[in-house]
Amino acid sequence: MTITPVLLCGGSGTRLWPLSRKSFPKQFVPLMGSQTLFQDSIRRLQPFAKPLVITGSDFRFIVVEQLAELGIDPDAVLIEPEARNTAPAVLAAALYLNAKDPETLMLVCPSDHLIPDNDAFRHTVDQGVPAAEQGSIVTFGIHPTYPETGYGYLELAEPSDGGPVPLRRFVEKPDAGTAEQLLASGTHMWNAGIFLFKVSTIIEAFKTHCPAMITPVQKSVEGAQIDLGFLRLAPAPWKDAESISIDYAVMEPSDNLSVVPFNGAWSDLGGWDAIWRESVRDADGVALSGNATSIECTNSLLRSDSEGVELVGIGLDNIIAVAMNDAVLVADARRAQDVKRAVQVLKQRGAPQAESFPKDHRPWGWFESLAVGNRFQVKRIVVRPGAALSLQSHQHRSEHWIVVEGTAQVTINDEVKLVTENQSVYIPLGAVHRMENKGKVPMVLIEVQTGAYLGEDDIVRYDDVYARGQGAKG
């Protein structure tokens, strides 16, 4: 039986702020090693069929870049017109796969969970296959190791010897007292949010329990258009699909659910306290990362993800401290779930740090702002080998480019020339220009912008290999 992994890549990135943000959520960040959680998820699913990835328009090039780093070609990358929670996304994937084979098994997985033992995970999935083939919706439960209040729970109808058992009910995120009781019961497991079922089974479940969603999602899939290798779902009917999770829409009202216990390590890394638990800690319980130093600290997480920022903790206990070049978080570890409140406060103040990441990713590479002042801005720009920015002009600013690594092919109006390391070029206001990296190594330059308005939307675009419209960034 073919198993097609369906990887969900949405999320607002609020609980691991400032490292994870709306513009660059946690699945794309190397949180626990050199690879990202998304890449770890892809590698874990490699023995199955080619993955189907569902993501938003803002993340489509990040997804392709991180897949390319692993040398993995997906079955498809579906682009949601807007975030509508997990139910429409799962249904869209099912309808897309249904056209190929309604008996295919779908393995629906979040892309931001930590599961260190890939072999144990794949073995657990295999245990769920017979039940899924027979028409059950299979979910996977995690043996709880402490009374977690941030997870939903699954109540098993009977103890399990490792194989599938019927699910009695879903349990909402409990308070501390209830979580203690669930931990002690022996019949409750954490809900991992991972599901296995036949395409035909889940479509029938939607028809039974959430019928109003079928038509808008079906029309959105039928009206999907190919865009640079992505399959962009039609936006008009998508707006009519209810924004609801797969749990509420289908899972909770269904009566054909089975649970397969997973005995390996697992975490959804849903807060900095979870990062601390999963990190290597010293004898005093301190987890250090990046340019961080601990002096007589205990039970704390100290992390600096900025090359130029040294983070030093002195005499701290039970503290989370995370430093980046544009934002710093200091919190009591017991208040880790309140980090999202900080994001809300910053949004109300209009602070860009609430949602925007210092490093701004583009299909051709990335840039970061180094300095901003009255009528000027300095950026570092990195262009991947073979990539090119759009042919464009600016109405309000001129630019100076200084190449510090590699070679840039630069177009300015009718002139095309090569600019090598330690050379510079001036782009006058209004000039039609383009930057390309024809080489085999990344090209790095420093850009100095001067003018009355320096916003990223000051772009008149004439030609773009990435098919972005007027006003799109980069």
319, 348, 377: which is the final residue of a domain? 348
Tell me if residue 87 falls in helix, strand or coil.
Answer: helix
- Whether residue 320 sits in one domain with residue 214: no
d(CA 153, CA 192): 9
Phi-psi domain of 406 (left: phi exceeds 0; alpha: psi -120 through 50; beta: other): left
Q: pLDDT above 70 covers what percent of the chain?
A: 98
Token code pair at residue 266: 């697992």
- Whether residue 343 sits in one domain with residue 380: no
Please count the structural domains in the chain: 3
- Whether residue 419 sits in one domain with residue 387: yes
- Whether residue 58 sits in one domain with residue 150: yes
Of residues 128, 122, 7, 11, the one with CA closest to residue 75: 7
- Whether residue 73 sits in one domain with residue 183: yes
470 occurs within a structural domain: no
Distances (CA, A) of 366 to 94, 118, 295, 473: 34, 31, 36, 11
- Whether residue 285 sits in one domain with residue 228: no
Tell me if residue 276 falls in helix, strand or coil.
Answer: helix
267 occurs within a structural domain: no
User: For the chain, what is the mean pLDDT?
Assistant: 92
- Whether residue 404 sits in one domain with residue 325: no
- Whether residue 425 sits in one domain with residue 291: no
Q: Per-residue confidence at 468, pLDDT binned at 50, 70, 90?
A: low
471 occurs within a structural domain: no
Strands (E) in 10-164, as ranges, are 52-56, 76-80, 105-110, 137-142, 153-156
**Residues of the domain holding 286:** 272-348
469 occurs within a structural domain: no
472 occurs within a structural domain: no
Element (H, E) at 333: none
238, 262, 286: which is the final residue of a domain? 262
Output the pLDDT for position 464: 81
Q: Read off the pLDDT of residues 369-410 as tens digits, 9 standing for 90 and up.
A: 888 899 999 999 999 999 999 999 999 999 999 999 999 999
Output the pLDDT for position 471: 46
348, 378, 409: which is the final residue of a domain? 348
Q: Read off the pLDDT of residues 66-119 as tens digits, 9 standing for 90 and up.
A: 998 899 988 899 999 999 999 999 999 999 999 999 999 999 999 999 999 999
474 occurs within a structural domain: no
Token code pair at residue 424: 């510079």
- Whether residue 256 sits in one domain with residue 299: no
- Whether residue 57 sits in one domain with residue 194: yes
Q: Read off the pLDDT of residues 174-202 as tens digits, 9 standing for 90 and up.
A: 989 999 999 998 889 999 999 999 999 99
Tell me the whole-structure pTM to 2 decimals: 0.87
d(CA 369, CA 466): 23
- Whether residue 284 sits in one domain with residue 245: no
- Whether residue 318 sits in one domain with residue 196: no
CATH number of the domain enclosing 151: 3.90.550.10
303 occurs within a structural domain: yes
